[in-house]
Amino acid sequence: MKRTRWSFWWHLGSLPILLLTLLPVYLMLKISVSPPAEVLTPHPTFGLHHVTGEHWKALLTSGALWPPLLKSLLVATWTMLGAIALAAPAAYAIARLPQRWKYPLLLSFFASRMIPEVGVALPVAVQFLRWGLEDTQLGLALAHLIRTLPFVVWILAGTFETIPVALEESAQVDGCHRLQILWYVVFPLAAPGVAVAALFAWLESWNEFTYALYLSLTENTLPLQTYYYVIRGSWFDAATYATFLAVPVMLITAALQRYLKAGYLMGALKG
Amino acid sequence: MPQKLKHHTLTGLMVLPLFLYLLAFAAVPLFSCVVLSLTDGASNAFPSLDNYRVLFRDDQFGQAFQNTLWLTSLGVSLEVLLGLAVALVLQRLVWGRAFVRAVVLTPLGLPTVVAGVMFIYLFSSTGYVNEFLYRLGLISAPIDWVYGGWRSLGVLLMAELWKVTPVVAFILLAGLESIPETVYEAAAVDGAGAWRQFWHVTLPLLRPSLLMAVVVRAIDAFRVFELPLILTGKSFPVLGTLAYSEYYEYDNPFTSAAAATVLLAIIAACIGGYLFLMTRRPMEGA
Amino acid sequence: MSSRDPRSSILALRSSLLGLLCLVLLLGGRASAGTELSVMMGLGEGEWRVMRERIFPPFEEQHEVKVRAIQAEADQAVKKLVAMHRAGRMRVDLITQDVLRLSSLIDAGVMRDLSEQREAIPPSALPQLIQVGTFDGALYFSPYRPNVQITYYHAEKFAEYGLQPPRTWEELLAVARRFKEAEGVGRVLLHGSLDVNTSIHVMEFIWAAGGDPLLLNDAGSVRAFSFLQQLAPYLAPETRLANWNTTNTFLATEAVYLARNWPFGVNLLVQQAGKTQIKAYHGWQGPLREAHVLGGEVIGIPRGARHPGPAVEFMRYLMSRPVQETLVTALGWPSFRTDAYGMLETWQRPYFAAIQEAVRSAVVRPHVTGWAEVDRALVGAFREIVYGGQPVEPTLARYHQQLQKARQRLR
């Protein structure tokens, strides 16, 4: 009853949300296809009047497009794998702990997320250099894990908590030993939560800037390359690169968002 | 008895890699950072409060300190409010639900730097916002958005909101969707209108989600770095950019570490205090 | 969602990741064919294009090496080189470095002594550029290209108001005031971004008044800062964001009509953006003289470089006349050799003339340890006096104290 009465206003409310979210992307797109005269003027235009492909052509032939993209993709994937590999066993163990251990432990892991990167990146960079890890994907992934692990542990601990111990116990009664239980009973049930955590870890690494700034020498990641275009590029480089990234990324996020069922986070919240 | 020991051993082994990793890559560098901040740059004497003395005397530091606090407090509050509004809209949508959800979540996939680029073009002195206001006849001379002070704060808040609200909305949506319909029905039977339902039913039940959203966001908001770096530069310093410029421009890793340690102290104090306050009061209406 | 679905999706995920792993191992294990010379420079996209298309290939063919380019801004370059040097893993063979960022490299002992290469420097070289690469009598950097800031102005707007590009400080103040009164907003720009860009502009004003930036409270400095304070209300608001990069944007969008900046903007503004109404001249004169900070780049070879032989060859190559002439023609960079004549296009000539005129008043920044502290003092004084409107003499006295103390500690 209530729903249909307010429904119109709620639906109307979605319009400004859509507009505000999409407006910056549209403007980037517009700049990337505009001739200089339309942008480099005291009064720029909003619509698409003259369209030119010169900026896109310059970007695509510069050869500086794909390496950062590839590096970011790979580092994000390593981070995601590492995060799950390190966090899942720990989260499972923590989820089965008595309450008084659980919360402080999770909180202490979370404390490591409080560290400002600008302070830590320097010692990390120096150490990585000694280990020969500077400018490698592995090194950057390891640094990204610092940021990602606490939150992933939190989500996974919450996920594992929602799996009743009774299920495991009944499997044990049926004669399965520990590892079998983990593999065949726990993991499938936890898979949606793991997927959310993995996606989160991937996004965090993809987005990360500060560690990359301190730890990259010859190959930029995506955010670093964007930064380079901001401080060194011509006016259109930054906008064109931003559009080049924004449009496919937004399409992919839009496609993937259906897997991000909000309910998967509930486990973490109840913790 | 041996079963329990085996259980604990297994537990310990499962937690160990994570623990070791965080020890090596989080605890040790953090410790180095704090030690560095207490080392005198010229004479390498330890401990020494000299770096802090230099830092506190610099009036850029005072600016940065204030700016960081303002940006975080206003930012997190607005993000939660806006996120709640967006989550409410998303929950109640019937037509085009998937589409709106998809659009709202898209800024999540964009690196913050890219989002910053967008806002540079929007808020430059010959940018689109000024042009829009000019065409509406509201202004005749361009507004200087990055003069520092409240206007820069506003620009940074808008950029951050654009990028971050999806996360908050997502967390709050999870909380909203977990409230069973029966609770609302019971309240309606008791004669509660829409607003009262919201205030006395929804919000209290949403408390864990709100708490999580605030904590998650606050930790990240204090460390804001990329957006001020590219949008406002030195005219709106924050502790993150101050630590960075101390190291890169003034070649002083010691004061850089000091600024970072101050930031860490602020974060720890605020999060600790907030959690302490929030988890003391019992939950109402559960 | 049946319990099977997550399993199969996990399987799919795992196999695709395995595939990715193989891909990475394949990509990662690039076999290096022949010698690879790692060269670190700080350039924009257009400049890299010229390097990749015209400068690198002849050298690569002749010496059978592959040039691997590493982009790094001057500050970043210093940090990375020092870090690599300390770890004993120098992975860069040759650098071109901003002349204003050399001391840190020398202090950290990163650079190789190039004194034996002195004979490779042609007699037609600009002596200031050799001077700037010499520390304690030893040559650490070979000259590459000099650079000075020129003053851009919007010819149409100046004509509209019947103004001439200012030649003295008084004229500069008059022009700034006229624009502000006529348009309601300042149109004259200085690099007020409160970093090293600002300290360069401030130094130029101090030198033009006969002051010493290392002292800060002498008569010339007081005069310079007093003038800047007078100028402050008429400066463009964009000054707060103006550095060597953003200034071009402000000129191109016609947000400012007069600005001093490095000459690379000429290509961007006139060639790319088609703003032919933006012209340039050498700049204004202070009470004592005209002064420009000598910028530019020099070539150095780090210690522990893996391919020092080819690096030295490349250094000579970069200093050679044909390459210098290409740099002049393609990038509009003035050469350090007076015998290198580029084939300038017609539209380039007036700007080039402005650069050469300005080089005549170029002043070399003295080699002193702790320029970071001097920058900090200059920037702080600028912030308080120009933005904050603080009284000139007391503020400068305070910064003088601060600077003396800081420099003493570093000694």
Put simply, the chain A residues between 56 and 75 with a CB less than 8 A from any chain B CB are: none
As a whole-number percent, the residues of chain A with pLDDT over 90 amount to 5
pLDDT at site B3? 64
Residue B10 lies in a domain: no
pLDDT at site C11? 61
pLDDT band at B285 (very low <50, low <70, confident <90, very high): very low
Q: Is the preceding peptide bond at B47 cis, omega within 30 degrees of 0? A: yes
- Give Cβ neighbours of residue A84 (< 8 Å, ≥ 6 apart): A152, A194, A197, A198, A201
pLDDT band at C211 (very low <50, low <70, confident <90, very high): very high
pLDDT at site C229? 96
pLDDT tens-digit map of A107-164: 777 777 777 888 888 788 878 888 878 778 888 999 898 888 888 888 888 888 888 8
- Give Cβ neighbours of residue B62 (< 8 Å, ≥ 6 apart): B56
The interface pTM score, or ipTM, of the predicted complex is: 0.81
Out of A124, A257, A266, name the one closest to residue B101 (CB).
A257
pLDDT > 70? residue B160 = yes
pLDDT tens-digit map of C50-62: 999 999 999 999 9
Distance between CA A18 and CA A14 in Å, rounded?
A: 6
Which residues of B make CB contacts under 8 Å with C?
Answer: 42, 58-60, 124-126, 140-142, 144, 146-148, 232-235, 245, 247-252
pLDDT at site C37? 93
**Mean pLDDT, to the nearest integer, of C260-284?**
89
Query: Nearest C-alpha of chain B: how many angstroms from A35?
Result: 15
pLDDT at site A107? 74
Distance between CA A116 and CA B261 in Å, rounded?
A: 8
Cβ–Cβ gap C45/A237 under 8 Å: yes
**Mean pLDDT, to the nearest integer, of B164-183?**
84
CB crowding A230-254: b at 16 or more within 10 Å, else e: bebbbbbbbbbbbbbbbeebbeebb
Residue B9 lies in a domain: no
The predicted model scores a pTM of 0.84
Closest to C254 measured CA to CA, from C238, C266, C233: C238
Residue B242 lies in a domain: yes
Out of A6, A120, A241, name the one closest to residue B29 (CB).
A120
Query: Nearest C-alpha of chain C: how many angstroms from B285?
Result: 33
Residue B5 lies in a domain: no
pLDDT tens-digit map of C216-254: 999 999 999 999 999 999 999 889 889 888 899 889 989
Is the distance from CB of B116 to CB of B230 less than 8 angstroms? yes
Q: Which residue range forms the structural domain that includes residue B222? A: 38-285
Out of A191, A218, A220, name the one closest to residue C6 (CB).
A191
Asked if the C-beta of A260 comes within 8 angstroms of chain C's C-beta atoms, the answer is no
For domain A53-268, give the CATH superfamily.
MetI-like (1.10.3720.10)
Q: Which domain CATH number covers B234?
A: 1.10.3720.10
Report chain A residues whose CB lies below 8 A from the CB of C80: 217
Cβ–Cβ gap B271/A114 under 8 Å: yes
Question: What is the residue whose two structure tokens read 């040759």?
Answer: C94
Q: Which two tokens stand for residue C156?
A: 């149409």
Per-residue pLDDT of chain A (271 residues; tens, 9 = 90+): 444 455 777 788 888 888 888 888 888 889 889 888 888 888 888 888 888 888 888 888 877 788 888 999 999 999 999 999 888 888 888 888 877 777 777 777 777 777 788 888 878 887 888 887 877 888 899 989 888 888 888 888 888 888 888 887 887 787 777 777 777 777 788 887 888 888 888 888 988 888 888 888 778 888 888 888 888 777 788 888 888 888 777 777 777 776 666 556 655 555 4
Task: Give the three-state DSSP class for A173.
Answer: helix
pLDDT at site A46? 86
pLDDT > 80? residue B192 = no
pLDDT tens-digit map of B219-229: 888 988 989 98
Report chain B residues whose CB lies below 8 A from the CB of A257: 101-102, 105
Residue B251 lies in a domain: yes
Asked if the C-beta of C174 comes within 8 angstroms of chain A's C-beta atoms, the answer is no
Mutate to test the interface with A, among C56, C248, C272, C277 (most CBs of A within 10 A): C272
Out of C6, C27, C45, name the one closest to residue A62 (CB).
C45
pLDDT at site C19? 59
Residue B60 lies in a domain: yes
Chain A: touching chains (3 or more CB pairs < 8 Å): B, C
Tell which wins on pLDDT, B256 or C11.
Answer: B256
Report chain C residues whose CB lies below 8 A from the CB of A235: 249, 252, 273
Distance between CA A82 and CA A96 in Å, rounded?
A: 22
Residue B87 lies in a domain: yes
Cβ–Cβ gap B15/A7 under 8 Å: no
Closest to A202 measured CA to CA, from B172, C18, B111, B15: B111
pLDDT at site C307? 92
- Nearest chain A alpha carbon to B256: A119
pLDDT tens-digit map of B195-232: 777 888 888 888 888 887 888 888 888 988 989 988 88
pLDDT > 70? residue C20 = no
Residue B16 lies in a domain: no
Report chain A residues whose CB lies below 8 A from the CB of B122: 24, 27
The total number of structural domains in chain B stands at: 1
Average pLDDT, chain A: 81
pLDDT band at C271 (very low <50, low <70, confident <90, very high): confident
